[in-house]
Structure 1
Amino acid sequence: MNQEQMEIKTPEYVSIQFQLAGLGSRAAAFIIDQLILTATNVLIILTTFLVMKATSDFSFFFEDNVFPIAIMVIVLFIINWGYFFVFEFFSGGKTIGKRALGIRVIQENGHSITLLSSFIRNLLRIIDSLPAGYLLGIMMIFLHRKHKRLGDLVAGTIVIHERKAKSKKKQTSIEKEIQNRELSKDKLILDDWTYRSYTAKDWKLLHTYANRFTQLPLDEKKQLTQQISKLLLPKMGLEVSEKTEEELENALLVLYLHLREEWEFEL
């Protein structure tokens, strides 16, 4: 296997290949993120000093301007550390820079990054940045066979190239069916926790259902829809017994659109 690729076998015994992100793409993404943070830092500093100047007549309240400077330092720390933590967890492992470069952070087992892993990974940026300019982190990414810095090693994460949906010149039968029904992901909103509850096994089951959907006889389709609905739809809080056959089919097809973005890909 190419040293830039990594194969993971999930707990559901599904083998998935990922293309590891190397030093170049990670550095480029980091530069973009740092430019955004630098612009934000400058804006906060300028705003702070403008406020201090505007309130100079009330300096007794600020104890000789120590108070606003202390607040500024705290805000800068929270933003510069929290930026990576918040974006990586709540945006599918992607900061703005990573999104621009088409890379993302995931767990080494192939699952989305967890809250704890994101916290640990980014807390250890303090060590990875030593002695200056992220030298330790750069050296580890360059030398480690999986391109891991210290934060990745402790948190159990890897950085991979974004998985792209397979491009098709012609619409498949299921895509035509979804279009005819005027279905889209907007028809069913999944919060982050619900989205993470679906596994590779769930996707494989749903993918098989979608591929056979237009070919199944009506009776068999109805039976299969009921069976899969009872397995998958309760995870998003839908009561199967309260839905019509068409509503169940539509819910499964929209769920298929959501999960396809995560699980159907090519390197």
Structure 2
Amino acid sequence: MLDTVREVYTPEGVALRLPAAGPVPRALAWAIDFGIRMVLLSACSMVFGLLGSAGMGAYLICLFAVFWLYPIVCEGLFDGQTPGKRALDLRVVSSDGAPVGWLAACVRNLMRTVDMLPFGYACGLVSGLLDPWGRRLGDLVAGTMVVHVPKLRDSAMLAANAPALPPLQPLLPAEQAAVVAFAERAGQLTPERRIELADIASVVTDAYGEIGVQRLAGIAHWLLGKS
């Protein structure tokens, strides 16, 4: 299945594009996390093995933590990313594009007991192939999806330094989407082209040149609810 893009709209009418991850990158991320788990369990077995039978109980607790708490804690603490997902530039988010919460992280990972049935994550794979955004059963129940993390560009760093600014006049939904699209794609444009486009929007920025570019980036932050 090819990766697809899901569009969701904020209450302000801004379209957010969520590039859904397909089964292949998700499987590779899982394989990396599985390797990390095996290393952790091997280290625990060597340490608790020195304790003899007394260390068996501690090892079982460690086994539970590594297999079940590892993904929940990573996704809850690190913005929806386990080490495997971070290596593949993937992230778990809510279906509306919001950051994943602790409850959703718990539900989607506990549902792996169903996704693994009858063997080899067969249920999860079938669900991912049938769902237009590659969601396994755990994602459907938890209201989450796995997306590709956009690559950071120099212009994105420039926009990140711009304070959120409200537009000087109300913007139609299409105009709001155009402003957000400008901020997202500025890295693909030359500085001269960015200034040229920002000058067109001077009616809402009351500025020209590089100052207009910065103010347009600030308006994009304001539309997305960033501070």
Partner of 2:67: 80
Give the Cα separation in 1 of the matches to 2:99 and 2:158: 28
- Corresponding residue SS for 1:132: coil
Task: Please say if 1:159 is aligned against 2:143.
Answer: no
**Structure 2 letter corresponding to 1:154:** V
How has the CA–CA distance of structure 1 residues 161 and 38 changed in structure 2, closer, same or farther, with 3 Å as cutoff?
same
- Corresponding residue SS for 1:24: helix
Cα displacement string for residues 78-103 of structure 1 (whole angstroms, at most 9, x for unaligned residues): 22111100111111111000000011
Partner of 1:22: 22
Give the Cα separation in 1 of the matches to 2:121 and 2:160: 48
Please, which of 84, 105, 114 is the counterpart of residue 101 of structure 2?
114
8 Å contact kept, 2:3–2:19: no
Partner of 2:43: 43
**Structure 1 letter corresponding to 2:15:** S
Give the Cα separation in 1 of the matches to 2:13 and 2:104: 23
8 Å contact kept, 2:75–2:92: yes
**Structure 1 letter corresponding to 2:104:** S
Please, which of 114, 121, 132 is the counterpart of residue 127 of structure 1?
114
Q: TM-score, normalised by structure 1?
A: 0.58
> How far has the Cα of 1:125 moved from its partner?
1.2
How has the CA–CA distance of structure 1 residues 115 and 166 changed in structure 2, closer, same or farther, with 3 Å as cutoff?
same
Partner of 1:188: none
Task: Please say if 1:137 is aligned against 2:124.
Answer: yes
**Unaligned 5+ runs, structure 1:** 53-64, 179-203, 217-223, 225-255
Cα displacement string for residues 157-176 of structure 1 (whole angstroms, at most 9, x for unaligned residues): 010000223445xx96996x
Give identity over the alignment, percent.
Answer: 31
Q: Which has the larger radius of gyration?
A: 1
8 Å contact kept, 1:174–1:214: no
Aligned length: 182
- Give structure 1 regions of 4+ aligned residues with deviation exceeding 4 angstroms: 171-175, 211-214
8 Å contact kept, 1:173–1:214: no
Please, which of 84, 90, 97 is the counterpart of residue 97 of structure 1?
84
Structure 1 vs Structure 2 CA RMSD:
3.8
**Unaligned 5+ runs, structure 2:** 164-179, 184-203
Give the Cα separation in 1 of the matches to 2:130 and 2:160: 45
> How far has the Cα of 1:12 moved from its partner?
3.0
Give the Cα separation in 2 of the matches to 1:167 and 1:12: 27
- Corresponding residue SS for 1:163: coil
> How far has the Cα of 1:142 moved from its partner?
2.3
Partner of 1:238: none
> How far has the Cα of 1:151 moved from its partner?
0.6
Give the Cα separation in 2 of the matches to 1:163 and 1:31: 22
8 Å contact kept, 2:41–2:62: no
Partner of 2:6: 6
Correspondence list, 1:178-193, <5 A: none
